[in-house]
Structure formats: structure tokens, C-alpha cells
Chains A and B, each alone.
Chain A
Amino acid sequence: MPKSSKSKNNKEGKRDFLIISTYAMAGIGAASVAWPLIDQMNPAADTLALASTEVDLSSLEEGQAITVTWRGKPVFVRHRTPEEIKLAKEVSLDDMRHPETDEERVPNEKFIVLVGVCTHLGCVPLGQKSGDVKGQYGGWFCPCHGSHYDHSGRIRKGPAPTNLEVPSYKFLSDNIIKIG
């Protein structure tokens, strides 16, 4: 009696193993078939290839701003005035939602380069044109849900969770930057 029940248990253990491993293999198979169907929705090679944009800043006067396109998104470049630079550098980081110093965000203090997409829900903030509303902190203002950004593109008031993104860019010469 004990012998037969033991052998029965062994049989069941073996069957369980076979069933579980069959399901596991079928699951892996299904997942590997599904992956190409899911991954095809990620950016294609040609989309990824449109990665960099060069901008000539020589004609950008103090206080002026231009908007260029990078990866289908607007990129803001603003030539800041000395007062704006002073304000951006001297403000206390204590009660900022996303504390970052101006030095961390702007390698060349004159030219600030930002991805012009509100970090809340992706609208384009106002503040690039001279007549635009610039918000309470003089930088940019998103009209969709009321986020205020300062001269360094830092979120100061409103629903946006983080500062305006700084794209990766470098100065090719004094007046030419390459974004991306």
C-alpha cells in the first residue's frame, strides 16, 4: 500500500512537471510571437535617424528667442539679458518642485536651450514671441493648464511635475549649436 501510493505520487509529480513546463514553453512561444507585433509600434529606424539639428545663433540679439524643430518637437533658444541671467542664478532653490541650479541647466549662460514641451501634458508653452504671456516668473507660461516656468525653464507654479527638459547639445563654434 505505501509503495503503490508513493509510485502514484511520483507519477503525479512527473505529470505536474510536464504540464507546467508545457505551459511555460507555450507562454514563451506566445510572448516571442507577440513581441514583434508590439515592438513595431516603437520608433522606426528612419524616425530615430532624424536625430540632430544645427542652429546658428549669430543673428539672435539679446532678449530675442527662436524656436527650431528637433525630432518633431519645438526647441526653444533664448538669448538671455544680464538681468534675466542674474535672476535665474540668484533665486533660492529651497521651495522649487524640481531644484536645479542655473549652471546645471545652461552651460553657456547667455543662450538657454530647452525642449519647448510642457512636462505636464505636452503643450507648447508661450513666451518665445515678444508679445507672449511669459508667466509670473518671466520665462514661459503653458496656457493649457497654467504652468509657470522661470528664466531657466524651471517649474515654479502649476501642475507640471518637472523643469522643461534640456536637450543634449553642444557648441560647434561660438555661435553654432548642434542639438541631438
Chain B
Amino acid sequence: MSKSKFKNPVVKWIDHRLPVFSFMDHELNHYPTPKNLNYFWNFGSLAGFALVTMIVTGIVLSMNYTAHVDYAFDSVERIMRDVNHGWLIRYIHMNGASFFFIVVYIHIFRGLYYGSYKAPRELLWILGVLILLLMMATAFMGYVLPWGQMSFWGATVITNLFSAIPLIGESIVTWLWGGFSVDNSTLNRFFSLHFVLPFVIVGVVILHLVALHRFGSNNPIGIDVKGTQDTVPFSPYYTIKDLFGLSVFLSFFAAAVFFFPNFMGHPDNYIEANPMVTPAHIVPEWYFLPFYAILRAIPDKLGGVLFMFGAIAVLFILPWLDRSPVRSSQFRPIFKVFFWILLLDCILLGYLGAMPAEGIYVILSRIATAYYFFHFLILFPLLPYIEKTKPLPISISEPILGGGSPASAFAMREKK
């Protein structure tokens, strides 16, 4: 019989029959991780933390919420005023959505900067984009549930996007609504889907992690791990680093929840939904603004919708658009400059999405939209032909220890 690594007899007994402890020991404890990861690698585990927070607070909120057009708004106000700690739980859930997106967007831009989407991590990246799409659907439907003015008109505008589809568009919108306008049937189904989709996200996150652990994390240098000298065990090194990052994240999160809980919301959503009156200025939640700006930049209904969905679709094929074999921007001088332009472009689109669609804002949105697609569809495929990349280090250890080969790395260590 093989020697068990566990001392506790109960753990040993269970693990022999159901090897969950071996699995956790292998994937969370010994799991070899590149030793040069910087703090941008904290955001994956932070996203996981945010997902769990949203599910836990969401389940308890659903115990006090009523999904009916006549009661939804009042039931949310009751949560805020009468339910024990209801205000806290709702503010955590509300701001948690924003923080989830902040963390995920940083996580995505980390991947873009360090080329984490390249072979052999294409599926890992695609699963990530799928998670982003599911998050967007979930967040959108969640925002409808309080049944305020922004909830109602946001739902109306977004579901109407589907009416742009030729021939069957109108039938699809009626089908989505379950009626002839956003109404009780719509609210009910959105509640149902808002409840279940997070668990679908959990499923895709598990696949994301399985794909991650197949080849391990990418790293700031973007070259493959050559051997054990390039890695450290996940625990305690990265468990502690992740926990430290989590405590910093929680400081910001708590500051928002306790001091600025409505900063990222919209005051109109504290007015109950009125199907007869549209608020003067409809804006989606901040995390949708860049996409909203793209939608409005195109002067054609179907075109706007196609470009908006296209902005995410290009992310799915990104691993094949970027032809450069070098992953990290550290060794791609031109790519690095354009990375920051893309980041600024996305922030500009976010700003423009919040502005009224008139005058200079429309022109700027068109330029910013054009740049976004230029970056992905033209720059990514063509850049490798123009760009002269810097020489890659021989191993992860080299830039840290100065030596090239594992042997010299050990020699350096022995000299100390």
C-alpha cells in the first residue's frame, strides 16, 4: 500500500476512497507557480472572492425580495430599512458587482499586457471571455430587480437591442419580455435567471481553473517555466500574497460600502419604475459604458448592435489575431505603447458612454470605436511584421539571479 502523506487517520481513510485531500494538496499546496509573479496576478483570486461574495449576499437577499412589479421596489426598500442588516447586505451586493467588474477588467488587461492568451492558454482565455459575457448578462438582469426607473428603462433599451435583428427581431423581443413591454413576466424570468447564472459562472470558473492548472500561470516575462528552479509552491508563497492583496482589496471595498455606497449607482433608480415616463438621461451601469458608447457611435440600429457585440467577439479570437510568438509586452516595445493607448481608448469610451449622444461626443465616440477595432483587427495581426522584439531571457531565474542556466542560478545561491 502506498504511503499516505496525511497523518490524520480520518483524512487518510477518506482520501483513500475519495482523493479530495490529495487533489487539494496537489492543486493548492504543492502547485508549482512561477516565482516572479507580480501583484497583477492577485486579481484572479480576487475575482473568485468577489464571485463567492456575490453568491452568498445574493442568496440572503433573495430570501427578502419579491419578484413582482407591485412589490419589488418596496421589498428592496424594506431590505434597506427593516430587515436586520439588510442595508449592509444589499450595499455589499450592489458595490460587489462594481468591484467584481473592476477586478475582472484589471485581470483582463493583465492578460492583454503579458500575452496570457497565447498558446497554450487559448482556451483558458476563451473561457475567461465567456465568464465576462455571463457576468454581463447576470449584472444586467440583477440591475432590473430593484424595479427603479433605471432598472425598467435599462431593461427596455437593452432588450430592444434584439429588435435590430432582421425579420425575427420583434418576435425575439416579445419572447424575451413575455408580453408587449417589459412587465411582470420579464421581472420574474430575470429574477430566475439572475439567480441561476452565477452558478453557471461557477461551473465555467472551474473549467477556467482546470485549463489554468494544465500549464500553470503565465508570468511577467512571459517565457515558459524551465524547471523547479523557476517555481515556488503555491502555498505558502502565493496563498499569503493573495491574502495580503485581498486585505488591500477589502479596505477599498469596505470604504465604498460604508462611506460611498451609492457613488457608482444612479439616483433615478430610487424612483419606482414608471412605464409611461422615460428619465431624461438614461445611462447603464459604469461597467457597460464603453460598450454603450460603441452602440451609440454607429448611426445605424443594427450596425450599432453588431459593433457592440463585436467588441466582445474580437476578444474570443484574440489568440489567433496576435501573431507574435513573444508573450510579454516587456519585450515588445511598440506593442507596449499601443497597449496603453488601448487602455486609454477604453477609458475614453467609458467616459463618452456617460455623456449625452450629441455634438463632439458623437465624433469622439466614433474615433474611439474605430481605434478599438483597429487595435484588435489590424494592429494585432500586422505588428509582428514590423516590430523588432527585445531578446528574451534564457529562464525566469536569469533576470533575477543574473545567471543563465539553472546551474549558474544554483551557483549564485551557493556563493551567498
Contact = CB atoms under 8 A, between A and B. Distances in A.
Given A121-B156, A143-B280, A159-B304, A47 B178 contact: yes
Interface string A107-122: 0000000000100111
Contacts of A143: 278, 280-281
A123 interface: yes
A67 B275 CA distance: 12
Given A74-B275, A146-B358, A159 B299 contact: yes
Contact of A71 (B181, B280, B358): B181
Interface in A128-173: 142-146, 159-161
Given A47-B178, A120-B301, A72 B275 contact: yes
Interface in B248-304: 275-278, 280-282, 296, 299-301, 304
Interface residues of B, number: 33
**Most B-side CB within 10 Å, residue of A38, A69, A159:** A159
Contacts of B181: 71-73, 117
Contacts of B153: 123, 144
A2 interface: no
Contacts of A160: 301
Contacts of A38: 175
A36 interface: no
A72 B183 contact: yes
B185 interface: yes
A124 B300 contact: no
Contacts of B185: 41, 43-44, 47
Contacts of A121: 156-157, 160-161, 301
A58 interface: no
Contacts of A72: 179-181, 183, 275
Interface string A61-79: 0000001010111100000
Contact of A122 (B157, B174, B189, B299): B157
Interface residues of A, number: 27
A161 B301 contact: yes
A62 B367 CA distance: 46
Interface in A56-106: 67, 69, 71-74
B160 A124 contact: no
Interface string B218-245: 0000000000000000000000000000
A47 B182 CA distance: 12
A42 B282 CA distance: 27
A124 B278 CA distance: 5
A73 B356 CA distance: 25
A134 to B, nearest CB: 15
Contacts of A125: 278
B300 A159 contact: yes
B176 interface: yes
Given A123-B157, A159-B300, A146 B357 contact: yes
A167 B121 CA distance: 54
B156 A71 contact: no
B276 A69 contact: yes
Nearest to A145: B357
Interface in A16-38: 38
Contacts of A47: 178-180, 183, 185
B236 to A, nearest CB: 49
B161 A43 contact: no
B380 to A, nearest CB: 30
A117 B173 CA distance: 14
Nearest to B283: A144
B175 A122 contact: no
Contacts of B189: 41
Given A122-B156, A123-B153, A145 B296 contact: yes
B157 A43 contact: no
A41 B179 contact: no
Interface of A: 38, 41-44, 47, 67, 69, 71-74, 117, 120-125, 142-146, 159-161
24 contacts: A41-B175, A41-B178, A41-B189, A42-B178, A43-B174, A43-B180, A44-B185, A67-B276, A69-B275, A71-B179, A72-B181, A72-B275, A73-B180, A74-B275, A121-B157, A122-B156, A122-B160, A125-B278, A144-B157, A144-B278, A144-B282, A146-B357, A159-B299, A160-B301
10 closest residue pairs by CB, A with B: A72-B181, A71-B180, A122-B160, A123-B278, A121-B160, A121-B157, A122-B156, A124-B278, A47-B179, A73-B181
